[in-house]
Homo-oligomer: A and B are copies of this chain.
Amino acid sequence: MKKRVLLLLLVVLSIATTNAQLTIEDVIHGGKTFYNYYPRALNVNFKGDANQLVIQRNDSVFVQSFNSDAETFAFDIKWLNEVLEKEGYGELRRLPRLTWDSATQFAFTGKDGFYTINQPSGKVELFVGRDSKGANFDLNKRSKTVAYTVGNDLYLKSENDETVLVAGNEGNDIIFGHTVHRNEFGINKGTFWSPDGSAIAFYREDNSMVSDYPLVNVEERVAKVENIKYPMAGMASHEVTVGVYNVTSKKTIYLKTGAPKDRFFTNVCWTPDNKFILIAELNRGQNHMQLKKYDAATGEYVSTLFEEKDDRWTEPQHPALFIPGKNGDFIWQSQKDGFNHLYIYSSNGQLKKQLTKGNWEVTNVLGFDKANKFIFIESTKEEALERHVYKVSLASGKMTRVTSEAGVHRVKISKDGRYALTTFSSLNVPSKTKLNDTRGKTIRTLQVVENPYKGIETGKVELLKLKTKDGQFDLNARMVLPVDFDATKKYPVIVYVYGGPHSQMVQNRWLGGVRGWQLYMAQKGYIAFTLDNRGTSYRGKEFAQAIHRQLGQPEVEDQMQGIEYLKSLSYVDAERIGVHGWSYGGFMTVSMMTQHPEVFKVGAAGGPVIDWKYYEIMYGERYMDMPDENPQGYEQANLNLKVKDLKGRLLVIHGAIDPVVVWQHSLTFARECVKNRVQIDYFAYPRHEHNVRGKDRIHLMEKVTRYFDDFL
């Protein structure tokens, strides 16, 4: 208990020393100063299958029963280190994230390896060591073996510390066991254990045909080129295959995926019987997906379970999810009816039924209940700005809402499917955590987080609904009014824009999802505005795909609806409108300034896409097709052809070793500006990649702030 008092004291002190104004260090993550203003939700989990809650607080673990606030101290870092020391394992400095497999067993990953420990006995149930040079660790508890990569090579290490090189030594261009296809199509790993741990599938990516992009390290004694492989739109793509390593026979076969070799091999998974591998294969044009089945022992192609085509694009993002004990039936997610929904297929690819339906989207699948009668999903069913969790009957499709209050929920379901830990925030609720049953009833409120800005003056945040120009869609927007807002005055506006696919900046979450920097600018007297245009996510396929082959057009049209709204407000100074964005938002910033030069006085574009032909294949061609297939679209979006339209002050910023939006984008833009005698301002962050991270982010946002202060 002593410890807890000390902690409270520290919190009080840190609030007491803050003055009533936000500084830039206050609002920018990564700075030296601790970020005080984030509502910190309780770290609470179900304690395995016990009807208990386990709370991690600093380096201690406490247990609560479901129906009482009273908590019991279970153990702390000291106890855990004693356990580890006894077995000869390395000491931990902080209590790691613990995963409770059962009421008496938790797992965690330490620097040295992967642990499963019994509590209270302190017995180490499992330890598999961790290679300090390794990456991409993938532990299989059944076989007590971890897969991992060192450089381009793939290894296995088992409980007895035996290490096997699965695949490797094919030079710099051939990479094993890493994520492929630039993490598009939901891909975020490169190894796939069979359920029983007897075999592991892995990606092999051949980059030998992909052009090098030079990144220059100026901190070497003599500036040094560090090439990356970067497959640009319309050019040669890398070639991926899938190997399968049998742990017993120690043999590897490759799935016979055949030609053309520049297809995308996505959402790899095993069938529950450990015999087959399913791959959602996508053509280079990304408009034709085939879910193919391969024999994991021989690599032979078995069948195509089903396929999906789309006039614009189809984008599988989730592997087949097998329903336990249902004979190979699996859940498949698809946007084919216009919104992302769940479908149940039989093991041979027969569609059994569409499980969810409506003008809303499934945004996440949380899993099944113990009896496998229900599936838990997160969705936009109530409202696209919110996230609620539902229990869906696999038999009837009937949906029961688990979460209650309006807002964006994150939910953990108990193993038996009967309880839910729900944490949510909404515009005016920083964070609230409750224990519910999965019929939607609240059992107990565990935590209500106080406004972290208490004592600080912050501008009022409003959520708005505007319309697309044609009236077809609502557009969600967020506005922060200046501190001490006076409707009889006129204020300058800074639009913060992202606007690209797979994003949603505006939600009914704490302060509408506002960025700290926007609060900071509101404090300085700016109105901070953000709108989610067509092309962004969770609004259905038509909304998302309106941008196809014409990036920058519908997005800017929608942003201008926001501008028209702003101009209609008596307190907006229409002569002082600025815009700032990064990456796709950089592309948007320059597009808005060149398409509507009369509107924007100042812009700050970071890491901007300038010409989509310099962008990579997987993301770029999905939206734009190849340059040869869509010359008009590429020309229309090519900001290098628009420099003469620029009127306002524009600051372009780029990380000089950006491996995503390569530096060539903004350097060719600067070049075109020079050729056309157009003045822009420019800044490069020499050792930063696609984002300026860490403490240098303060420098970045100070620069952007200063630019608006100087010129808006």
Contacts and interface: CB of A to CB of B under 8 A. Distances in A.
A277 interface: no
Contacts of A673: 699
Contacts of A675: 696
A557 to B, nearest CB: 31
A710 interface: yes
Interface stretch (A318-326, A383-391, A438-446, A659-667): A659-667
A375 to B, nearest CB: 46
Given A214-B224, A216-B216, A218-B664, A670 B686 contact: yes
A695 to B, nearest CB: 8
B662 A674 contact: no
Number of identical monomers bound together in the oligomeric complex: 2
A677 B656 contact: no
Pick from A214, A684, A699 the residue with the most CB of B within 10 Å. A684
A223 B218 contact: no
**Tier of interface size on chain A:** 35 or more
A670 B699 contact: no
Contact of A218 (B667, B683, B687): B667
B232 A222 contact: yes
Contacts of A218: 663-664, 667-668, 671
A609 to B, nearest CB: 15
A220 to B, nearest CB: 9
Contacts of A656: 667
A681 interface: yes
A224 B213 CA distance: 7
B686 A683 contact: no
A685 to B, nearest CB: 6
A363 interface: no
A99 interface: no
A213 B222 CA distance: 7
A656 to B, nearest CB: 7
A702 interface: yes
A7 interface: no
Interface in A641-669: 656, 662-664, 667-668
A706 interface: yes
A219 interface: yes
A223 B664 contact: yes
A230 interface: yes
B699 A686 contact: no
Nearest to A656: B667
Contacts of A710: 710
Contact of A706 (B211, B679, B684): B679
A524 to B, nearest CB: 16
Contacts of A698: 677
A662 B224 CA distance: 12
Contact of A687 (B211, B671, B682, B699): B671
A218 B213 CA distance: 10
A225 interface: yes
A703 interface: yes
A222 B230 contact: yes
Given A682-B684, A686-B667, A703-B679, A223 B213 contact: yes
A692 to B, nearest CB: 8
Nearest to A696: B674
Given A214-B216, A662-B223, A679 B667 contact: no
Contact of A225 (B225, B668, B670): B225
Interface string A230-273: 10100100000000000000000000000000000000000000
Given A214-B216, A222-B213, A230-B222, A684 B670 contact: yes
A213 B613 CA distance: 28
28 contacts: A211-B222, A212-B222, A213-B223, A214-B216, A216-B216, A218-B667, A218-B671, A221-B232, A221-B235, A221-B613, A222-B664, A223-B662, A223-B663, A223-B667, A656-B667, A667-B684, A668-B686, A670-B683, A671-B685, A673-B699, A674-B696, A675-B696, A677-B695, A677-B702, A679-B702, A679-B706, A681-B681, A682-B683
Given A213-B222, A671-B686, A682-B682, 7 more contacts: A214-B214, A214-B225, A221-B235, A222-B230, A677-B702, A682-B683, A682-B684
